[in-house]
Amino acid sequence: LVQKNRPVCRSSVRCAVVEVNRCKTRYRCTNIIMNGLKLQMVAETSAQAFAEQPEQHISDKEHQEMKEALNQAEVKIKALEGQIEILQKVRKTFKGSICAALMHLLAKQKWSIVTR
């Protein structure tokens, strides 16, 4: 679909807009999935934290393991939040002028879109 150093024709611009719209849909779906994963991880972490009854005494080793699991979950959540921010920035970038953004990107990389 994409070839280097080829001229861009009007029909290829239309194809590019369609392709960008597909990318937007994929990013939107990915964003929804990532939000769901974040909520699921928070729920699992909360469930693990409340699974132990307050009157039970846990060993120091178990306490340390729970802390490590919580820290790992928080790191995963932060990574997912970072990816969500990136996806939101991409979505905002393409929301304005899709065609202009795509043409700018193509010109910057000296690539053009060729239809079949």
User: What pLDDT is recorded for position 60?
Assistant: 82
User: What pLDDT is recorded for position 116?
Assistant: 40
> Cα–Cα distance between 86 and 20 in angstroms, integer?
16
The more confident residue out of 27 and 66 is 66
> Cα–Cα distance between 113 and 107 in angstroms, integer?
11
The more confident residue out of 78 and 8 is 78
pLDDT in tens, 32-87: 888 888 888 888 888 777 766 555 567 888 888 999 999 999 999 888 888 878 77
Amino acid (1-letter code) at residue 35 = N
> Cα–Cα distance between 15 and 1 in angstroms, integer?
10
Q: What is the pTM of this model?
A: 0.35
Q: Which two tokens stand for residue 48?
A: 């693990």
Contacts of 21 (CB under 8 A, 6+ apart): 98
